[in-house]
């Protein structure tokens, strides 16, 4: 059966929106409106030192949009008539590994840095376009090549530049910003998202393991340090099952070099609302079988409440039960378990909405496509069709139109201003080898392949950072901070 890409048909957001331009950063005009900073001299010989990370999720409140009456915006210089350009800062934001540039990353100079509140762990509403407390002196959103440019930048010493997506946050401080020139950072690395809590703030994440997928390895290859996966870090690993109901071919423990302890149990995790609500993002790796009865009593209700309150959830293949058995999420499609498609298969990227078009261009620019708007899918599966509003389809197999990646904002069916969280379903697999779909059962991280991400893994990286981002009506382009 055929299905169509679906986005919410609701009113355009009244917040500041700027059209996506491939190759040009989405920039907001400079205007009025935690110390996790790197320090460097924009134009002389400063150093680059990293401090502790705290931040905020975009929530309600703030006074941006008012005339500049105080704060860093008062340090902006009028460069007109001087025969020079504007005072600008530009750069490229990359993933924690420093390898892939990232789309739709917020970059801004807070007008009053001391008004930015600290993060708290757990679900929280994160609506795009919500004002930053104190406003911004300048802001932008990265384009498909991770590029941004801040205009009308405040001049002087110790100017902070915040790089953020969802609860990923890192702050850089220019030791000196010079007037009416481009102020370049001394290294492309400075705009990399944090790989550990020393560099900045990472969301609190839970990853359950399984016998048929290895999501716990993908995030390591995206650049998150091993120190964040062990107890006390920002990523907690929970042991799942293989398709036969055992743990024989599942990674359920750390190797000796990382403490050798056994992961806590995945079912105990999702059946405990307190553990679920201690997270910002939950990733469920495919176990090779549905095990729906293990989820229906408490796991699905707990996850639904988590999502409705602003949590983010990624479910791989047989964890489709978090969608199909949920009375809230199951309405976005017709759920069924059909024969596996050919492996590999050619996937088509939906480009009829701004982020989908950016996704296709981003993959093309990363040499991850097989042709215009096409990507080769390894280990595709067939568990849903006929996607309907408010679901959004990103990738599908053209034969019989089999969706491979879909998302929905939560609470499902809420108006744009009431949306809080997001759920993503992937009917394709990642593996430790990068080409298959089975877990080898070795301890973490011995199980994990190393090296660059495959094309399919690059696609999942883009989609993961979209999942991390603030929530908006996807029929609109992403707005810059205000």
- pTM confidence score: 0.88
Q: What is the mean pLDDT of residues 448-459?
A: 92
Identify the pLDDT of residue 438.
63
Q: How confident is the model at residue 188 (pLDDT cuts 50, 70, 90)?
A: low
What is the model's pLDDT at position 66? 56
Lowest mean pLDDT of 18-27, 62-71, 305-314, 464-473, name the range: 18-27
Q: Which two tokens stand for residue 464?
A: 């993961």
For β-strands 345-349 and 106-110, DSSP reports them as unpaired
Beta strands in 111-233 (DSSP E): 136-141, 147-150, 156-165, 168-177, 182-184, 205-208
pLDDT in tens, 33-66: 334 545 544 433 333 333 333 333 333 222 345 5
Which pLDDT does position 429 carry in this prediction? 81
Give dist(CA 319, CA 331) in Å, integer: 16
The pair phi, psi for residue 385, each rounded to 5°, is -150, 180
pLDDT tens per residue across span 230-252: 999 999 999 999 999 999 999 99
Give the Å distances, CA to CA, from 56 to 44, 117, 240: 31, 6, 32
C-alpha distance from residue 237 to each of 88, 206, 371, 440 (Å): 42, 6, 36, 16
Question: Locate tokens 């331009």: which residue?
Answer: 21
Domains of the chain by range and CATH?
26-191 (2.60.40.10), 205-343+378-451 (3.40.50)
Cis peptide upstream of residue 223 (ω within 30 degrees of 0): no
For residue 212, CA distances in Å to 163, 217, 316, 438 come to: 35, 13, 9, 4
Q: Is residue 281 scored above 90 in pLDDT?
A: yes
Question: Per-residue pLDDT averaged across 454-477, rounded?
Answer: 94
Phi, psi of 329 (to 5 degrees): -85, -20
- Is a pLDDT exceeding 50 seen at residue 69? yes
Strand duo 156-165 + 106-110: pairing: antiparallel
User: What digits encode the pLDDT tens for the residues 148-186?
Assistant: 999 999 999 999 999 999 999 999 999 999 999 999 887
Instruction: Tell me how far the alpha carbon of residue 378 is from its chain's centroid.
Output: 22
Q: What pLDDT is attached to residue 16?
A: 25
**What is the residue whose two structure tokens read 């201690």?**
278
Mapped onto helix, strand or coil, the DSSP state of residue 478 is: coil
Supply 44's token pair: 């002389």
Contact 303, 279 (CB under 8 A): no
For the ranges 36-45, 327-336, 374-383, 444-453, the lowest mean pLDDT is seen at: 36-45
- Distance set, CA 435 to CA 8, 429, 430, 439, 455 (Å): 34, 9, 7, 12, 10
Main-chain dihedrals φ then ψ at residue 321, nearest 5 degrees: -60, -30
Residue 278 or residue 64, greater confidence: 278
**What's the whole-number average pLDDT of the chain?**
86
HEC letters along 242-289: CCCCCCCCCCCEECHHHCCCECCEHHHHHCCHHHHCCCCEEEECCCCC
Position 54 scores a pLDDT of 35
Calculate the CA 98 to chain-centre distance: 15
- The closest alpha carbon to 388, from 412, 415, 364, 417, belongs to 412
* Residues of the chain above pLDDT 70, percent: 84
What is the mean predicted confidence (pLDDT) over 348-366? 98
Per-residue pLDDT at 315 exceeds 70: yes
């Amino acid at each position: 059966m055929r299905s169509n890409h679906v986005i919410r048909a609701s009113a355009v957001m009244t917040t500041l929106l700027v059209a996506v331009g491939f190759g040009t950063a989405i920039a907001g005009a400079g205007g009025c409106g935690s110390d996790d900073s790197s320090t460097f001299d924009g134009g002389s010989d400063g150093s680059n030192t990293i401090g502790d990370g705290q931040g905020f999720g975009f929530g309600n409140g703030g006074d941006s949009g008012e005339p500049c009456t105080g704060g860093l915006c008062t340090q902006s210089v009028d460069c007109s008539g001087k025969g020079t350009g504007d005072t600008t800062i530009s750069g490229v934001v990359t993933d924690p590994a420093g390898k892939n540039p990232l789309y739709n990353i917020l970059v801004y100079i807070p007008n009053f840095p001391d008004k930015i509140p600290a993060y708290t762990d757990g679900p929280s509403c994160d609506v795009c376009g919500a004002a930053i407390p104190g406003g911004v002196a300048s802001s932008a959103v990265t384009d498909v090549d991770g590029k941004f440019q801040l205009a009308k930048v405040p001049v002087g010493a110790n100017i902070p530049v915040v790089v953020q997506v969802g609860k990923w946050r890192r702050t850089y401080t220019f030791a000196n910003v010079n007037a009416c020139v481009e102020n370049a950072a001394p290294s492309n690395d400075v705009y990399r998202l944090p790989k550990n809590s020393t560099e900045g703030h990472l969301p609190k994440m839970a990853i359950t393991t399984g016998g048929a997928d290895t999501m716990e390895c993908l995030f390591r290859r995206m650049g998150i340090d091993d120190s964040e996966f062990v107890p006390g870090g920002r990523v907690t690993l929970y042991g799942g099952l293989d398709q036969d109901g055992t743990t024989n071919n599942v990674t359920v423990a750390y190797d000796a070099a990382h403490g050798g302890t056994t992961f806590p149990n995945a079912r105990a995790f999702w059946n405990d609302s307190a553990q679920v609500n201690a997270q910002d993002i939950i990733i469920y790796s495919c176990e090779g079988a549905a095990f729906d009865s293990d989820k229906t009593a408490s796991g699905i209700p707990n996850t639904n409440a988590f999502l409705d309150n602003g949590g983010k959830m990624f479910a791989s293949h047989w964890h489709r039960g978090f969608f199909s058995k949920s009375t809230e999420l199951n309405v976005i499609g017709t759920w069924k378990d059909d024969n596996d498609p050919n492996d590999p298969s050619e996937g088509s990227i939906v480009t009829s909405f701004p982020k989908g078009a950016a996704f296709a261009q981003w993959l093309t620019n990363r040499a991850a496509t097989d042709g215009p708007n096409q990507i080769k899918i390894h280990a595709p599966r067939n568990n849903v069709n006929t996607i309907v509003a408010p679901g959004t389809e990103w990738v599908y197999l053209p034969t019989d139109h089999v969706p491979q990646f879909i998302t929905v904002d939560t609470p499902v069916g809420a108006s744009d201003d009431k949306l809080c969280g997001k759920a993503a379903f992937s009917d394709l697999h990642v593996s430790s080898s990068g080409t298959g779909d089975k877990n080898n059962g070795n301890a973490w991280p011995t199980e994990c392949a190393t090296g660059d991400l495959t094309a399919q893994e690059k696609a999942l990286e883009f989609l993961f950072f979209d999942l991390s981002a603030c929530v908006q009506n996807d029929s609109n382009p992403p707005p810059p901070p205000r």
